[in-house]
Chain A
Amino acid sequence: MAGLIVGYDGSDGAEAAFHAAADLSKRLGVGLTLVFGFEANPVGGEALDYWAALREHGESVLGTAIEEAKAAGVEVETLVVERGPAEALAELADEREADMIVVGSHGERPIAAAVLGSTPHKLLHLSHRPVLVVRI
Chain B
Amino acid sequence: MEDKGLKKNAIGYISNVVIGVASTAPGYSLAATLGVIAAVGGIGLQSPAIMIVSFFPMLCIAAAYYYLNRADPDCGTTFTWVSKAMGPKSGWTAGWAIIAADVLVMPSLAFVAGQYSFQLFGWDAAAGNKWAILAVGIAWIIVMTWICWVGVELSARTQQILLSIEIFTLCLFAVVALYKVYFNDPAGSIRPEFSWFNPLEISSLSALTGGVLLGVFIYWGWDSGVAVNEESEDPASGPGKSAIVSTLILVGIYVLVTTAAQAFAGPKLLIDNPDDIFAPLGESVLGTGLDKLLIIAVLTSASASTQTTILPTARTSLSMARNKAMPAIFGRIHPRYLSPDVSTLAMGGVSALVFFFLIFKDENLVFDAFTALGLMICFYYGLTGFACTIYYRRHVFKSVKNFFFIGVLPMLGGLSLGYVFVKSVIDLRATDSGYAGPWLGVGAPFVIAAFVFLLGGVLLALSIPRYREYFSRKASVVDPAVLESAPATGGGD
Contact = CB atoms under 8 A, between A and B. Distances in A.
A51 B230 CA distance: 11
A44 B227 contact: yes
A10 B335 contact: yes
Contacts of B312: 44-46
Nearest to A82: B3
Given A44-B308, A45-B77, A111 B152 contact: yes
Contacts of A50: 315, 318-319, 340
Nearest to A53: B333
Contacts of B152: 111-112, 115-116
Contacts of B311: 41, 43-44
B14 interface: no
A79 B75 CA distance: 23
Contact of A80 (B1, B227, B318): B1
B338 interface: yes
A52 interface: yes
Contacts of B338: 38, 40, 54, 57
B289 to A, nearest CB: 29
B19 interface: yes
Nearest to A60: B335
Nearest to A63: B1
A95 B141 CA distance: 44
A111 B74 CA distance: 30
Contact of B6 (A43, A51, A88): A88
B79 interface: yes
What is the interface of chain B mostly: helix, strand, loop, or mixed? loop
Interface size class of A (residues with CB under 8 A): 35 or more
Interface in A15-68: 38-54, 56-57, 59, 61-62
Nearest to A56: B333
A92 interface: yes
Given A53-B322, A54-B333, A109 B150 contact: yes
B80 interface: yes
A45 B77 CA distance: 6
B75 A47 contact: yes
Contacts of A78: 1
A81 interface: yes
B398 interface: no
A81 B231 CA distance: 14
Interface residues of B, number: 45
B9 A83 contact: yes
B74 A47 contact: yes
Interface centre among A11, A80, A109 (most CB of B within 10 A): A109
Contact of B151 (A10, A82, A109): A109
B6 A48 contact: no
Interface string B215-232: 000000001100111110
Interface in B57-86: 74-77, 79-80
A51 B338 CA distance: 10
Nearest to B150: A111
Interface in B456-492: none
Contacts of B74: 47-48
A108 B150 CA distance: 10
A91 interface: yes
B1 A42 contact: no
A49 B333 contact: no
B115 to A, nearest CB: 26
Contacts of B151: 109, 112
B35 interface: no
Interface in B5-52: 5-6, 8-9, 11, 19, 23
Nearest to B313: A44
B210 interface: no
Given A53-B331, A82-B3, A112-B151, A45 B75 contact: yes
B163 interface: no
A25 to B, nearest CB: 20
Contacts of B3: 79-83
A82 B76 CA distance: 18
Nearest to B231: A42
A48 B80 CA distance: 10
A69 to B, nearest CB: 15
Contacts of B337: 108-109, 112
A57 B75 contact: no
A102 to B, nearest CB: 19
B314 interface: yes
A48 B333 contact: no
Given A10-B335, A109-B337, A47 B6 contact: no
Interface in B297-317: 308, 311-312, 314-316
Contact of B77 (A46, A62, A116): A46
A59 B229 CA distance: 25
Contact of B227 (A43, A88, A115): A43
For the complex of A and B, the 9 pairs showing the least CB-CB separation, nearest first, are A47-B75, A44-B311, A45-B77, A45-B227, A46-B319, A48-B74, A108-B336, A46-B315, A49-B319
Given A46-B316, A53-B318, 12 more contacts: A43-B19, A43-B228, A44-B314, A45-B227, A45-B316, A47-B227, A47-B315, A48-B75, A81-B6, A111-B152, A112-B151, A115-B152
28 contacts: A38-B338, A40-B338, A41-B153, A42-B227, A42-B229, A43-B224, A43-B227, A43-B311, A44-B315, A45-B224, A45-B312, A46-B318, A47-B74, A47-B315, A48-B75, A48-B230, A49-B331, A53-B322, A53-B331, A54-B333, A57-B338, A59-B1, A61-B335, A80-B3, A82-B3, A83-B9, A109-B337, A115-B152
Interface of B: 1-3, 5-6, 8-9, 11, 19, 23, 74-77, 79-80, 150-153, 155, 223-224, 227-231, 308, 311-312, 314-316, 318-319, 322-323, 331, 333, 335-338, 340
